[in-house]
């Protein structure tokens, strides 16, 4: 669910976790599991939910995934704040 309800922890919502992934990927591209490990240092996100967020970001065309490396799309770096 993209829009949170009143019972959901906002720190674990798709939008917030997606923002944190984008912040990590602005520095450099990362391996899928390395990205999850770095993300778990900030918040505790289980692996299945993490892949749901990656899929969401990929569907909105914000990420590229090649050979288990995740990176921001070139045009996304300019448009994402």
- pLDDT tens, residue by residue, 21-45: 999 999 899 999 999 999 888 777 8
Nearest to 34 by CA among 68, 60, 5: 68
Please give the distance of CA 8 from its chain centroid, rounded to a whole number.
Answer: 18
Tell me the whole-structure pTM to 2 decimals: 0.80
Compute CA distances 22 → 5, 35, 54, 60, whole Å. 23, 10, 10, 13
Structure tokens at 23: 């912040």
């Amino acid at each position: 669910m993209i829009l949170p309800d009143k019972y959901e922890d906002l720190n674990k919502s798709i939008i917030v976790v997606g923002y944190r992934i984008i912040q990590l990927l602005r520095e450099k591209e990362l391996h899928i599991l390395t990205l999850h490990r770095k993300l778990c240092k900030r918040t505790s996100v289980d692996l299945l939910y993490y892949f749901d967020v990656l899929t969401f970001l990929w569907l909105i065309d914000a990420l590229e995934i090649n050979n288990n490396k995740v990176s921001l799309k070139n045009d996304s770096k300019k448009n994402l704040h």
